[in-house]
Amino acid sequence: MKLSYQSVGTVCIYCGAGCGLNVQVMDGRLAGVLPARSHPVSQGQLCAKGWNATEFVEHPDRLTTPLIKRNGRFEPASWDEALDLVSDKLAAYARASGPDALAFLASAKCSNEENYLLQKLARGVVGTNNVDHCARL
Amino acid sequence: MMESSHMLLDQVRQAVAAALETLDGVVALSVEHANVAPHLFQPGDDLGSLVLEPRYPLALTVREILKRYPEAHIGVVARGCDERSLVELYNWKQVDPDHVTVIGLACTPEEAAECRCAQPYPTAVAVGEPAESVEDAVLAEFMATKTREERLAFWQRQFAKCMKCYGCRDVCPLCFCEKCAMEEPTWVARGRLPVAFPTFHLIKALHTAGAGKCVECHACELACPADIPLSILYSLLRREVKEGFGYEAGAQRTGNPPVFLSA
């Protein structure tokens, strides 16, 4: 019989330490985490976040669509609608108070390339150096 | 004479290839981009990525795969500690021995010394030469140099380092409970550090080593980011269970762990 078990080596998305994880995948579904013993940073040890690094993926509280607050309530919206709203508001604030009225928070859950693009947007397009991120330990 | 690690590796690959002629898969370690992890080799797979180190608790992987595929028959490249874990999982009715084939790998004397292992080989050795038993010098030093008061102070200091990652539980091949007392709010307050002394750590100790489950694989200690020497505590409890109940986890398939008798 054909079995489907994979151990996928990756890096923890929670902080700047960058611990090594082996994500367990069974039948194409996440099935837990094992520490990566040969990883030079973490050497087979993880914190509580690393052990549970995959929990958010299928968590019922996870947002699966953009939400826009209308009349005091969050309502599901399309990406086009959400991005138009964000860009209109950012442009309005920058015009009214200058680009340093804005800050850009990058994320450890994105790739290096995505974070590069975010700071490029901040510096090159909006014109502010207010860039920071959650992994700055 | 000691065989070179190259020869051992070749022999393991040959044994796995032979096993895959009849089995659905074999659990062993595999290296990809310098990352070693448990892997399920299946018939027709290239065995070139199969490696022997660093050690993972492979019985845990076997347990999880068979939980998902109870009909499968899988092999595992098992060291002494992996085999003992499997035997204990058989005794606790968590893994069906009829669905597991052990390819026994004896640890080298160097590996045995590193793990301070009393039995660095499985009962049936397919590859390697059984190395001699190694005395646990860490445990011996603890017993020889500390008074009762010093031991209490020692554990207070050690347990205060705990960041409550639950790694010692998550990595343990014998921690198979669906509901864990270490997450029971009656005993363990959520979101509080340091953890209550000594409740948190004694729950783990009593529910594993104290229940006659600990096979001294030391996976918990290796996974501890606070470097708490958990093996000292668990080995002492393992001794107590042996003396009090004549039961040694993983030693033989009795089907009767001591807590079953008092149930």
Specify the pLDDT at position B262.
54
Contact A46 B223 (CB under 8 A): yes
Q: Is the pLDDT of residue A35 over 70?
A: yes
Contact B36 A38 (CB under 8 A): yes
Specify the pLDDT at position A63.
94
pLDDT tens by residue, chain B, 263 residues: 455 778 999 999 999 999 999 999 999 999 999 999 999 999 999 999 999 999 999 999 999 999 999 999 999 999 999 999 999 999 999 999 999 999 999 999 999 999 999 999 999 999 999 999 999 999 999 999 889 999 999 999 999 999 999 999 999 999 999 999 999 999 999 999 999 999 999 999 999 999 999 999 999 999 999 999 999 999 999 999 999 999 999 999 987 888 886 54
Contact B68 A27 (CB under 8 A): yes
> For the whole prediction, is pTM greater than 0.95?
no
| Shortest CA gap A68–chain B (Å) | 32
B65's tokens:
């795969």
State residue A63 phi and psi, 5-degree precision: -75, 135
Query: Which chain B residues have a beta carbon less than 8 Å from that of A33?
Result: 170
Task: For chain A, say whether B70 makes contact (Cβ under 8 Å).
Answer: no
Specify the pLDDT at position B204.
97
Identify the bridge partners of residue A5 per DSSP, sorted by sequence position.
A26
Neighbours of B168 (CB within 10 A): 24
Neighbours of B245 (CB within 10 A): 15
Contact A34 B38 (CB under 8 A): yes
CA distance B107 to B172: 20
Interface subset of A 42-71, CB within 8 angstroms of B: 44-48, 50-51
- Using an 8 Å Cβ cutoff, are B52 and B12 in contact? yes
